[in-house]
Amino acid sequence: MTAPRLSIHDRMVELADTTRCRLLAALERQELTVGELAQALQLPQSTVSRHLKILADQAWIASRAEGASRWYRRNPRLDADMLGLWELVRSAMADTPAALQDAARIEAVVASRRTVTQAFFATASAEWDALRTGMFGARADLTAAFALLDRQLIVGDLGCGTGSLSAALAPHVGHVHAIDASPAMLTAAASRLAGFGNVSVEEGALESLPLPDGVLDVAILMLVLHHVSDPVRALREVHRVLRPGGRVLIGDMRPHAHERFREQMGHVWLGFAEPTVHEWLHEAGFVQPRYVPLPVDTDASGPALFSCTAVALPRPVMVLS
């Protein structure tokens, strides 16, 4: 059974108390706890709690729990009668000395939150990177940045390995084609990616991808091109599966002299210089290449890396004579 709607007279009684009006005015600006309200309005916590309960019971305020605290704010969904009445009351009290003093003290309370944060960073700046990595992992910021991607994108993770990049991309895009030539890698990728409904795991070499023409918006070759015997042929195949205007992203090693990688890890190429990558991309039908040396990770033992993006030109139309 629906509770009867309160009359405007009942609502006026609820706002007849000055303390309740001061609390509503305070909670209109931002969320505050009972302790912060008591400090700002210079009232006992018991008094603040009693009036907050009245306001909450009549839906003037909303609250939420966070850890051991409860945060209060003015209800953002007041009905038309309540909102009209509150606007009248607020305008009548807005410029009174008490209201102005309350507003100044509330600003001071909120500023004290910033002071605590600033004090922490003043002493923790030297250790902050290690602290953040320990709490959230080394790739938290990069993983969150994937949310900038278009939700409709069709992405190819070409040479996906065990699927870690595909797993990071999948929540943010329309579909991921995770493709690798190694059955062992694909077994691990399939296990990691089993919970994603928008990822397909497929076996295929970079030179002969199991995809139709023009199906991808983005193709990613992350630390895979140095394993490919004919990079230009592979890039032409990547161009084939990209739509006109689609983009390729290559992440790989800059030139280095670690010959042991050929025998130990099956590397065909000892990194790639910018002119070489630009030339190969041009031959494969890409334009606007952008080669960016990446910052060196001091904890990593391998060669320095680069990223390179380029745009796929439309494929030429074959005219039969």
Task: Tell whether the model's pLDDT for residue 1 goes beyond 50.
Answer: no
Higher pLDDT: 320 or 74? It is 74
Residue 132 domain flag: no
Domain co-membership, 164 together with 60: no
Residue 307 domain flag: yes
Count of domains observed in the chain? 2
With a pLDDT cut of 70, the percent of the chain lying above it is 91
CATH number at residue 167: 3.40.50.150
What's the CA gap between 153 and 174, in Å, rounded? 5
Domain co-membership, 170 together with 263: yes
Residue 320 domain flag: no
The pTM is what? 0.66
Cα distances (angstroms) measured from residue 59 to each of 204, 216, 231: 61, 51, 66
What's the CA gap between 133 and 145, in Å, rounded? 16
What is the mean predicted confidence (pLDDT) over 144-159?
93
- 286 Rama class: left (phi>0) / alpha (psi -120 to 50) / beta: beta
Residue 261 has what pLDDT?
86
Query: Could you say which of 93, 124, 155 is where a domain stops?
Result: 124
- Residues 71-114 have pLDDT tens digits of 999 998 888 888 888 899 888 888 888 889 998 998 888 888 77
